Amino acid sequence: MRGTQRRWFSISFTLLCLALTAGLLQFVRDRLGDESTFTGWTLLSATAGLYLLTARKKMIRQRLGPVAGWLQMHMYMGVFASCVFLMHIGWPIRGIFETALASAFVFVAVSGILLGVISRTTPMRLAAIKQDFPYERIPQMQLAVATDAHEVALDSTAFDEGATLSEYYQRRLLPYFQTRRGFFYVMFPTGGKRRALLRELADLDRYLGEYGVGSRKHLAKMVQAKDDLDYHQALQKRLQLMFMAHVALTWALAILIGVHVVMVYRFQGFM
């Protein structure tokens, strides 16, 4: 099955399951059945299905299909569980414990949805850059670029064409090469800084001699290389942080769900 077909099949199947659940809920509601129990157990089943991906990741040696397939199932089941969650809760949510449970679910669900979106868009944005950089080696490469830029800046003073470039390097480029980008850049990486520095560097040409212009061009390449590395790092770090956020509350959520189920049945007199 090709990717597009697989996607349409998955979307259709998820919508079918949702329609079926909504229809059954209406049926239960019209028949004076216990709709909370119906949606509750459906939600619990779907949520338990979401944890199967974690279990699959643990089982490396068993032949249970590729993790990518499980991930697909996890994503569509997540969408299904989120919709059933909306059917299950009464609005507005009341009670401190119930609010905590719903918040945890919403946090996991929203972070999962964002993770899905980011994981779909990030490869395209990374592919826009000519070169691939392994995430864990980016700091090493950033260091190399910074070292090269420093040498170019020092060398530019040896041609007696003035200290314009070196002063500019010290004032503007040194912090750029030597420090990491901020959290806002990691979440929303843009080329604003890169464009600003390149424009400033181009504006220095009127003060530079022949060799100075050559050094300036060299520094401009270093700026672009650093920005590419930062961009790579930011996109991948964002993905990593979102994944961390998605995973962080999973077990806490499982505990809250367990307490919720026990309390419901205990208070109804069935336990």
Partner 1 sequence: MDSGKQNVTSPRPKPNNSWVCGNFEMGASCPKGPSEDGKCCHAISKANGESPEELASELPCQPRKSPRFSRQDIAINFAILSAGILLLCMTAPQREELYVPGGLSHAHAQILDNALVSERCSLCHPNSHPDAAPGLLQDQLCMTCHTAHIPDATRRSPHDLTMEELRTIRFTPNEQQKTMLMSATDETFCAQCHIEHRGGEHDLKAMADKRCQACHREQFESFAIGHPQFSDYPNIGERRFAFDHRAHAGEYYAKKNEEFDCRSCHLDASQAGVVGSVFRSVGFEKACGSCHTESMRSEFTNGWAFLQLPCLPEELVKSGPSDLADWPLSAQFGFDGQVSFAARLLLAGEPTLPESMRHLPSDGQISKTADEHLEQTASGIAVAYRKVVREIANGGQAAWRKRLESSLTQILARDLNEHELDLVRQVSVGLPPDLFRQIEQHWFVGNEQLTQDSSDLPIPALSDQREQNVFRFVSTTLGAQDDLLGEDDADDDLLLGGWDDDPPETKPSKATKLVKLNAAIHLEEGGWYLDDQFLALRYVPRGHSDPFLSAWGELITIVERNRPNSAAEDTRHPWSKEDLNLKNAIPGSCLECHQLGEGTTSQASAGELWANWRSEKRPANLRQFTKFDHSPHLSLPAVNDCQYCHRFDTDSKAADQSFASLKALMENMQPDDNYRSRLVAMQGKIQNYLGCEFDSIEKAQCVACHRPDGAGDSCTQCHHYHVGTEGFLWSQPMRRAQQK
Asked if 78 and 15 touch (Cβ cutoff 8 Å), the reply is no
Applying CB under 8 A, does 262 fall inside the site for partner 1?
no
Range in contact with partner 1 (rule: CB under 8 A) among 79-87, 93-101, 173-181, 200-208: 93-101
With 0-12 / 13-18 / 19 or more C-beta atoms within 10 angstroms meaning exposed / middle / buried, residue 51 is middle
Residue 3 CB, nearest distance to partner 1 (Å)?
A: 25
Question: How far, in Å, are 55, 134, 213, 234 from residue 142 at the CA level?
Answer: 37, 12, 24, 13
Question: How far, in Å, are 6, 85, 223, 230 from residue 199 at the CA level?
Answer: 47, 51, 11, 19
Question: How far, in Å, are 41, 79, 157, 240, 264 from residue 253 at the CA level?
Answer: 16, 17, 61, 20, 16
Single out the residue of 5, 30, 61, 210 in contact with partner 1 (rule: CB under 8 A).
Answer: 30
Contacts of partner 1 in 39-58 (CB under 8 A): none
CB closer to partner 1, 108 vs 208: 108
What is the C-alpha separation between 153 and 163, in angstroms, rounded? 10
Residue 248 CB, nearest distance to partner 1 (Å)?
A: 5
Q: How many residues bind partner 1 (CB under 8 A)?
A: 47
Binding mask 228-257 for partner 1 (x = CB under 8 A): ------------x--xx--xxxxxx-xxx-
Range in contact with partner 1 (rule: CB under 8 A) among 11-19, 28-36, 119-127, 167-175: 28-36
Residues in contact with partner 1 by CB under 8 A are 28-34, 60, 90, 94-98, 104, 131-134, 136-137, 139-141, 143-145, 225, 240, 243-244, 247-252, 254-256, 259, 263, 266-269, 271
